[in-house]
Structure 1
Amino acid sequence: MNLLNDIPELEGRNYGKWYQKLEIALAMANIDFAINTPQPQEPEKPVRAQNETDVAFAVRQKKYDADKTLYDKEMAPWADSNRKCLLIIKGSISEFIRMAITACPTATEYLQKIKSQFTGSSKAYASTLVEQLITKKYTGGGIRDHILEMSLMANKLVTMDMPLPEPFLVQLVFKSIPKEFATFHVNYNTFLENWDIEKLIAMCAQEEGRLENANGGGEPVFQVQHQKKKNPQKNYQNYKRPFPPSKNQHESGPSRPPPCKKDWSDFPVDKDQCLKCKKRGHYKRQYPEFLMELLKNGDKYEPDPTKRRKKN
């Protein structure tokens, strides 16, 4: 009963998983006799011909009675198995799928009609499995689990009437494993015999252990392969520019020299000498004639007394 409860409800995209769980449940419950065995054929009742003798008719009647007894003996368990299988199949599918299927007297015919409805989706799922199987690469976790996963994908294709030859599957496995197994692959091609999946798993696991010991003992091949790669981001962070830009440098222009302090020793006049009249004691901004010239030209000059220079 636990296995029967584990059967997922058929909704539309889980046909493969549903059929697999259904087969396991029916087999473990020992009620799959009607699915694996064709329906017994009832013998035809003899009809006496006009010129047939009593002895000949009695022989045929006796044979019919024996066949009828055997038929009744075989039909009783088959009918019981067929009735139970139909109940379980109908109870494990959704209502809208069950309403779309016409009534069938046998469980085998009912399963065939269900399969015909999911032929299109099965083909799409099969194409996805084939693409994943061809493009699959080893990403760590152990070579044994990797091969078992590919073998499971191939077994799913078998249930969809798309079996793959075992030598072809072996070559796909060799294509998906890391380059460290290249020598191992070459040695396999020199052999005359073809390996099955069980022997391939054993030999690849042995080769994986040898490579781990050669790489230092204990580290998987995939991780050792990635430790040898350089980190471009780390190198980029450690890169230093030979000449750091100055604060006043533009994005595309040349760098400007740093500002320098004025040297008053080379100035032509003293600090307290007027630049207009060349006399000491006042500045140019305080000279009346200079201020009159500014007014004539329309300029307005307002001296700032806070910025006057101190007299020596």
Structure 2
Amino acid sequence: MDLANQALFPTVFSQSTSCIPILNGSNFSEWKERLTFTLGCMDIDLAFREDMPPKKLYERWERSNRLSLLLIQNHISRKIRGSIPDCKTAKEFLTAVEEQFVSSKKALASTLISRFASLKYNDNGGIREHIMELRDIAAQLKSLEVDMSETFLVHFVLNSLPMEYAPFKISYNTHTEKWTMNQLLAMCVDEEQRIK
């Protein structure tokens, strides 16, 4: 790193890391997503992308590893940090942190399934927001290895709509073609405008 970049690095480092929340036990997914994004943007994620390299590349890798470890450790609540074993590499440390949250994934999946199953459109925020929220929950569930087909999602969205959409649902059920989520979204927005 040249002298000019060395002088700017502490400021850039501080500003870039301010978007990473402190890991507190209930925000692991958001924490990890923002952490890995920030490490990549700061170009100090080499220690995650490559195992320890040969001597000629070691200095850059070691710097990446050291800064990544510091960044991760400083964005974990002290209560959680104490339960994580010491590790020599940032990659090992992040794996150790992830292992602390494995059972949380099951609980999160259950919570998301309950939320998904109970969502009904209530005219607050519009139909687009309702469908996008259902799609977001479905995407989160997919990342937790709880898959649902697009056809299921289309039917679920239709079933979550109130009585005002009954003719719209009948229309879908009488047509032979299946809609994609994007088609359903567009048609629901049109139907919402027609109803209002």
TM over 0.5: yes
Give the aligned partner of residue 128 of structure 1. 111
Give, in angstroms, the shift of residue 89 of structure 1.
0.9
SS at structure 2 position matched to 1:137: coil
- Assess, with a 3 A threshold, how the Cα gap between structure 1 residues 72 and 125 changes in structure 2: closer, same or farther: same
Local SS of the residue matching 1:100: coil
Residue number in structure 2 paired with 1:185: 169
Is 1:154 matched with 2:138?
yes
Report how far residue 40 of structure 1 moved: 5.6
**How far off is 1:77 after superposition?**
4.2
Cα 1:72–1:163 shift into 2, 3 Å? farther
Tell me the equivalent position of 1:234.
none
Determine which of 111, 130, 143 is the counterpart of 2:127: 143
Q: Counterpart in 2 of 1:117?
A: 100
Equivalent residue for 1:207, pick from 181, 191, 194 = 191
Matches of 2:73 and 2:60, distance apart in 1: 20
The residue aligned with 2:51 is 39
Please state which structure has a larger fraction of its residues in helix: 2
Distance 1:131 1:24, change over 3 A: same
Q: Does 2:195 match 1:195?
A: no
Q: Distance in 2 between matches of 1:168 and 1:184?
A: 17
> CA offsets per residue over residues 198-250 of structure 1, 9 Å max, x none?
333222111211222xxxxxxxxxxxxxxxxxxxxxxxxxxxxxxxxxxxxxx
Q: Match for residue 6 of structure 2?
A: none
Q: Which residue of 1 aligns with 2:26?
A: 13
Return the alpha-carbon distance in structure 2 between the equivalents of residues 132 and 168 of structure 1: 16
> Partner of 1:237 in structure 2?
none
Match of 2:3 in 1: none
Q: Which amino acid aligns with 1:139?
A: N
Provide closer, same or farther for how the CA distance between residues 78 and 135 of structure 1 changes in structure 2, counting only shifts above 3 A: same
RMSD of aligned alpha carbons = 2.6
Displacement after TM superposition at 1:29 (Å) = 2.6
2:39 paired residue number: 26
Q: What secondary structure sits across from 1:103 in the alignment?
A: coil
Name which structure has the greater RCO, CA cutoff 8 Å, separation 6+.
Answer: 2
> Sequence identity, in percent?
37
Q: CA deviation at 1:193?
A: 4.3
**Structure 1-normalised TM-score?**
0.51
Residue 96 (1) aligns with residue 79 (2): yes
- Cα 1:29–1:131 shift into 2, 3 Å: same
Check whether the contact 2:128–2:185 (CA below 8 A) recurs between aligned residues: yes
Tell me the number of residue pairs that the alignment of Structure 1 and Structure 2 aligns: 181
Residue of structure 2 aligned with 1:4, choices 17, 24, 29: 17
1:103 is matched by which residue type in structure 2? D
Aligned counterparts of 2:16 and 2:161: Cα–Cα separation in 1: 37
TM norm structure 2: 0.77
Structure with higher Rg: it is 1
Residue 4 of structure 1 deviates from its aligned partner by: 1.3
- Distance in 2 separating the partners of 1:85 and 1:191: 54
Where does residue 80 of structure 1 map in the other structure? 63
CA distance in 2, matches of 1:101, 1:107: 12
Equivalent residue runs for 1:274-289 within 5 Å: none
The Cα shift of 1:76 comes to 4.9
Pairwise CA distance, 1:88: 1.1
Distance 2:66 2:176 in 1: 53
Which digits, 9 at most, give the CA deviation of each residue in 1:119-175, with x for residues without a partner? 223321220110110121111120011112222222332443434333322222212
Pair 1:88–1:211, CA change in 2 (3 A)? same
Question: Secondary structure of 2:82's partner?
Answer: helix
Q: Distance in 1 between matches of 2:66 and 2:179?
A: 46
